[in-house]
Amino acid sequence: MASHIYEHAEFTLSTPKTELLPEDIGYEVAFAGRSNAGKSSAINVLTRQKSLARISKTPGRTQHLVCFTMDEQSRIIDLPGYGYAKVPAKVKKQWQSMIEDYLIKRQSLRGIVLMMDCRHPMKPFDEQMLEWQSHAQIPMHILLTKSDKLTRGPASAALLKIKKAVSQRDNVSAQLFSATKRVGLEECYAVLDGWYEVAP
């Protein structure tokens, strides 16, 4: 790993409004995904912390923008995930509008890490995130999570399918990832280092 900045991540704040986030300077990477895609587990393993991002047995509890600060210039923003979350349609609409507002307005946003369960990729939320990415023109890296749940052949086939699906989109890449088995960490760090402009 090129840098240990990720290990310094600390919870800063949780807010429903983009304008209440820290000053819009430096480098910010947003983590997105359906509420059962393993987003919290991925953030925890990448920052080498066991409980930085709360792992809940009830998916969809994060309904705010959650900010983790690594140093004066570098932040992680955990976007609200939904899918299995049992909340009213009105609340889901508010989440969507909050995410869209954040992606379009935030000047320090350098990239989006979109997590999809490799066994159930490209759900409507994933498609929507890709549309927002295209609209906002922000680089996106897809983590096909829980890859340890598939054998090598089906996992490779899932990755190939996603790469083909996004091949016509600019600045979208994809890889296999498993927080449990620590698969794909170095590949993901290489992408993050580029966005945070970490020196090799």
**Position 10 confidence tier, pLDDT thresholds 50, 70, 90:** very high
pLDDT tens-digit map of 52-71: 887 555 554 557 899 999 99
User: By the 8 A CB rule, do 95 and 121 touch?
Assistant: no
User: By the 8 A CB rule, do 114 and 122 touch?
Assistant: no
- Nearest C-alpha neighbor of 163 from the set 145, 141, 184, 182: 141
DSSP per-residue string spanning 117-154: ETTS---HHHHHHHHHHHHHT--EEEEEE-GGGS-HHH
What is the pLDDT at residue 118? 96
What is the pLDDT at residue 3? 60
**Position 2 confidence tier, pLDDT thresholds 50, 70, 90:** very low
pLDDT surpassing 90 at residue 173 = yes
* Mean pLDDT over the full length of the chain: 89
Domain count of the fold of the chain: 1
User: By the 8 A CB rule, do 34 and 84 touch?
Assistant: yes
Average the pLDDT over each of 73-77, 79-83, 145-149, 193-197 and give the range with the smallest value. 79-83
**Size of the chain, expressed as the number of residues it contains:** 200
Tell me the two tokens of residue 81: 């995930």
User: Edge-to-edge strand order for the sheet containing 74-78?
Assistant: 10-15, 65-69, 74-78, 27-33, 109-117, 140-145, 172-176
Return the higher-pLDDT residue of 139 and 81. Answer: 139
The predicted model scores a pTM of 0.92
Domain that includes residue 92, residue range: 5-196
What is the pLDDT at residue 7? 94
What is the pLDDT at residue 61? 53
Q: What is the CATH number of the domain that holds 60?
A: 3.40.50.300
Q: What is the mean pLDDT of residues 153-161?
A: 96
Report the C-alpha dihedral over residues 11, 23, 198, 195, rounded to 10 degrees. Answer: 100
Q: What are phi and psi for residue 197, nearest 5 degrees? A: 55, 45
Q: What is the mean pLDDT of residues 5-28?
A: 93
**Position 82 confidence tier, pLDDT thresholds 50, 70, 90:** low
